[in-house]
Structure 1
């Protein structure tokens, strides 16, 4: 009999989490819970409204957010945080960045120390300048904190379209000796199945920065597309937006190369390519001249990039990083600067070298390099 081939370090057996909670029953939380339940794991989906939890359990659909996605039997919704977190092995938090601390406060009495928490939301906390993982570490000490991030529209993910994302946690010394037992690898094993393919990262800062900044850049792309500009403009904003991500990630201790992966360039490309993205859609409507109060037919839609255009630029200023695209979006959204004036000024900035090793800055020869249609 032929001896079995030894298991290479890249093919070590993983140990998925068997019981998981997803906190947040919006479209992305429901999609993640659907993936976990389809993969055969005991999955609880926490909803703020008891009526929504009851509807999900009775109809096996989330009519409010993913009406055309049938939910697997292994998914159980609840409006009780204690119920959702009972004997849980890992938690995914899916909430707007502005309500993350509130979510942590609600979870704290019911979540034992040592249980890993993965954020499936993106942003920088306004005021403190904290990355969202720092908010969780502040409110839920003693729990490993990571995130799940990448180019993922919720409906496509829930319907099983091939999708890839990054699962990132800091690695301890023990995690590096036995990476298959790390929280990142174990959560990736739980999520892996059907069309969903996770990758593992130890650069939590780099992954988080990509997720926070891409929403702001997507608003910029939407603004320019809505104003009538085409693919050249969008490609320029995406490429220079990636550069802004790299600079901020590096300044905060992350790795530039992380930003070229799924959670940076991948997520940015998706978000800047379709008005399915609320960020791109908001920018597009503003670029068409629609007043902010009238966007989304006047509905109070939460747009993360709108909030994070403030927190990202404040954080960048604090650490000495220039982010002109993000600053332009912030100026339009929150400081009353005319959209056309702001983007004309962006294009008229001093001419710079693309490799930073070449130290060069030249005054732009044309103060108004393009004209918007009136």
Structure 2
């Protein structure tokens, strides 16, 4: 694994660092720094949307997309540089992640030219936002068990969709949702599923935000009752949506996840600063745990870089070498431990909300970190699912018995 950067990479890092520093120092954008992070997704959505459109106007969205689709066509390492510098600048968290990193690449890989022409430019310009319609009340990690149904109405040339989705990220402010639905009656498991692009602003779609312990509502329930979308808005062949769905999940562990380590380093530094301020750093157990977290984070970054270098060299895939699953397991467990140590450092203060109004639910940054990080080992593919992928698809072990 060669981690040396070329002269072009160094020049690119300087370019994006300078641009971000200049923009985020301006009166227009300075107040948005750091907003919208984990557990704070409800903050300044309109302002962050304006920032994302500002990025688009200057060519800083979809930087890894090929130039023929409007992106910058950056190399893998330049994409890493971009996301690292974005995190270091403490720029506001984006609102276009699902469109840019999931829907766009999926349409490039599986979509028709007409679908690409219709949907990619609005993603690039941040004019249309996307939500993810995978999980259901009875089909969370077991995606093949979805019960949402889609029927093609030949008289109108539209798909009619009925069902319920849950944990639907960003549905409360998005215009579109990509949905896995069973389109072949009587089909089971991976067979007979279709990957549909469904507009959210229509009769037959109800979005109910789910309030989280952190105070935000990133996730939603979405009820589809006779919702409609054009027949042409099926990605891949009807009934063959499983392959498209798995292809999309392969894009989920991209270079932007590696930049999380920069945010994590900032969070760890904040916990250390609090420990020094309140004297918790004098406890040898606390000091040992903080030191371990720092060392582990360096190892996690190296692990992420190794996985990306394997991917760049064609040595790994979403299931093949399991690098994506390993990376998810290590960073999710680390972040949960950081949240636990943050509460250990906070001591009794961590048990109380911090606002002037005792009745207000006003969390400080470490309380929010602790509560949000409890979900890290569940969302984006639970620990159990990642371990099964590694055991069954990578190591070739027997499949887990049903009901185990």
TM-score by length of 1: 0.30
Give TM-score, length-normalised by structure 2. 0.28
